[in-house]
Structure 1
Amino acid sequence: MLKLSQAHYDALRAHGEETYPHECCGILLGHVGAEVNEVVDVMRAGNTRTDSAHNRYHIAPQELIKAQREGRKQGLEIVGFYHSHPDHPAQWSTTDFAEAHWFGCSYVITAVAQGKAAVTNSFLLRGTSEEDKQFVDQEVLVLS
């Protein structure tokens, strides 16, 4: 399960609307648990993809390092990532899967239809290596 506040949920969805028709992306900081990834902070990241920003995203390594440092200061860790799918379903693509490497992390995708956030889904990356990794559907619990 992925647990986050209504404010964090709204923030990542709004980010997708703001960057439409390009994909947005960001980092989720919080606590990783055996059954629950809990989001405590949402950090926006810049999409560094210039060749196909409408259907791909990339977070610069410097932003990942910055997020890790910020997290450590607060006693948090990276629990996941989010991005949007402009005019596409909130399902992971073969590219999303190929570029997912953070085992135990949640990968949140929001479908943004004609500029409006629609469905938001989360997928947990399970496995121990590139050979056995898999995405599994993850329940999203939004707290008021």
Structure 2
Amino acid sequence: MKTLNIDQQALKVMQKHAEATYPNECVGFFYGKEDEQTRYIELAVEVPNSKEGDQRRRFEVDPRDYMKAERYALENNTTLLGVYHSHPEHPAIPSEHDLKVAQPFFSYIIISVKGGKSVKTRSWQLDNNQAFAEENILQLQA
């Protein structure tokens, strides 16, 4: 697993988005660059949660938003490194649903929100056994 080095402004965007959508789950993408050991997250971008029905326990990304994200990465010489989302009143660990929809390359940042406040941020990536393994995050505030 790689180590994530998250720009403080990108982290703030993710955490503020998680708090603003509480008690529903938020979702967004993050971009940056990577080398053999580290992913450098430089930008986080909010995406609407397109889940029909109860958004307190699920998020969904409209395929058009995903295509826009891929296009943005190409046009701006950056890499789409992953997806962030929140877990309102739950720990920052992947759910069974998160595992079902995960893609091998991406990092998945999960922000636990308790009482409307971001309390824990963790990141996960699928390992070779298609299970989640936690990634180390540098310079993390919450």
Q: TM-score, normalised by structure 2?
A: 0.92
Contact in 2 for aligned 1:107/1:125 (Cα 8 Å): no
* 2:109 match: 108
Matching of residue 139 in structure 1 with residue 136 in structure 2: yes
Query: After TM superposition, where is structure 1 displaced by more than 3 Å over at least 4 residues in a row?
Result: none
* 1:27 match: 29
Q: TM-score, normalised by structure 1?
A: 0.90
Per-residue CA distance 1:35-84 (angstroms, 9 max, x = gap): 21211211110101122200100111111111111111111121011000
TM-superposed CA distance for 1:143, in Å, is 7.5
* 1:48 match: 50
**1:84 alignment partner AA:** S
* 2:75 match: 73
- Uncovered stretches (5+) of structure 2, i.e. residues with no partner: none
SS at match of 1:139: strand
- The CA distance in 1 between the partners of 2:139 and 2:47, in whole Å, is 22
Per-residue CA distance 1:7-41 (angstroms, 9 max, x = gap): 11111011000000000000011123332121121
Aligned residues, how many? 139
**2:68 alignment partner AA:** K
SS at match of 2:139: strand
- Uncovered stretches (5+) of structure 1, i.e. residues with no partner: none
How big is the alpha-carbon RMSD for the aligned residues of Structure 1 and Structure 2? 1.5
TM-superposed CA distance for 1:88, in Å, is 0.5
Per-residue CA distance 1:77-116 (angstroms, 9 max, x = gap): 2101100000111111111011112x12210000000101
SS at match of 1:98: helix
**2:110 alignment partner AA:** I
- The CA distance in 1 between the partners of 2:131 and 2:27, in whole Å, is 21
